[in-house]
Amino acid sequence: MQQGDQAFLRDDLRGRWPEMTYGGALSFLRRRYSRDLAGVDVVVSGVPFDASVTNRPGCRFGPAAIRAASTQLAELKAFPFGFDPFETLAVTDWGDCMIDPHHPQTVAPTIEAHADAILASGARMLTLGGDHSISYPLLKAHAKRHGPIALVQFDAHCDTWEDDGVRMDHGTMFARAAAEGVIDVARSTQVGLRTFNDHDHGFEILTAPWLHRNGIDAALEVVRERAGDAPVYLSFDIDGLDPAFAPGTGTPVAGGLASWQALEFVRGLKGMNLVGMDLVEVSPPYDHAEITAIAAATVAHDWLCLLAQGKGAQPHAVGRL
């Protein structure tokens, strides 16, 4: 049996073999680095861009930190699913989208073209950011393929503040996407918000206090009823978690969700028409213990497990779940 460095030694996309948790090439969940998309179900790629932040920078280092934090999750069968998602799901790590921060006007078109090329293969995308502005070009690419998107946004902020249609800003891009019809706001939900905006732009907003009072099951009921069978894109800003569970982010806001609540929420999206996901705003310089990156890697891992279930992977429960 081959051992170690699956990121570049594997010939096939399925399954996995033994690795040192603390060593080896750090692809996401030890998936093979490749840009050959033949037979690929999901492409993981990073977008290390953070020039649109309004407070603390550093999430350009997010993709690398999330990959490093994913190593433990590659050791055992997935919890609580009880299966190896990669026996069912063919996943590759594309690496990082090459962007030129010195020509900021090229950044969004570059990300959109990157997504266009991957989606043209028929694969889904799991994108590791980077700041939240990267969601706009990603959504544009997904809408070209699927039509208007039902956005499920997990976040402390609405990201629908006033937009001039030109600015690169991680707090305005969903207002622009809604105005352009990229997002179907009538089917979209914002989850975990705890900052104020005078306008809801048509989104259903489930604030963090509402979630604390009513619970995750009630939130999932709203999200499911609203999205129906529409194509669902999950945009997961790590600052949706309380800073106690995600200190490594640029705009932390007290009063957020615990990591267990976020994981229960993501796992509860099972069976929806999940077409893509991004996970953004992980800023490692503000978290010496990797708490934030571990939470982020686990959320992304569990989203992949939902896709594996959709392809027929059968959960095997042990203990009371």
User: Which residues are documented as binding site for Mn(2+)?
Assistant: 132, 155, 157, 159, 237, 239
Asked if 247 and 287 count as a contact pair (C-beta separation under 8 A), the reply is yes
Using only C-alpha atoms, what is the Rg of the chain? Answer: 18
Q: Which residue has the tokens 């994981």?
A: 263
Positions at the binding site:
132, 155, 157, 159, 237, 239
Contacts of 233 (CB under 8 A, 6+ apart): 138, 139, 142, 149, 150, 151, 152, 275, 276, 277
What secondary structure letter does DSSP report for 31?
P
φ and ψ at residue 206, rounded to 5 degrees = -110, 100
Q: Three-state secondary structure along 86-122?
A: HHCCCEEEEEECCCCCCCHHHHHHHHHHHHHHHHCCC
* CA within 13 Å, CB half, 32: 19
Q: What is the DSSP string of 133-152?
A: GGHHHHHHHHHHHHSSBEEE
Contacts of 61 (CB under 8 A, 6+ apart): 48, 283, 284, 285
* CA within 13 Å, CB half, 123: 27
Contacts of 288 (CB under 8 A, 6+ apart): none
Asked if 172 and 160 count as a contact pair (C-beta separation under 8 A), the reply is yes
CA–CA distance, 5 with 36 (Å, rounded to integer): 18
DSSP E strands, the chain: 42-47, 91-96, 124-129, 150-154, 189-193, 204-207, 232-237, 274-280
CA–CA distance, 179 with 211 (Å, rounded to integer): 28
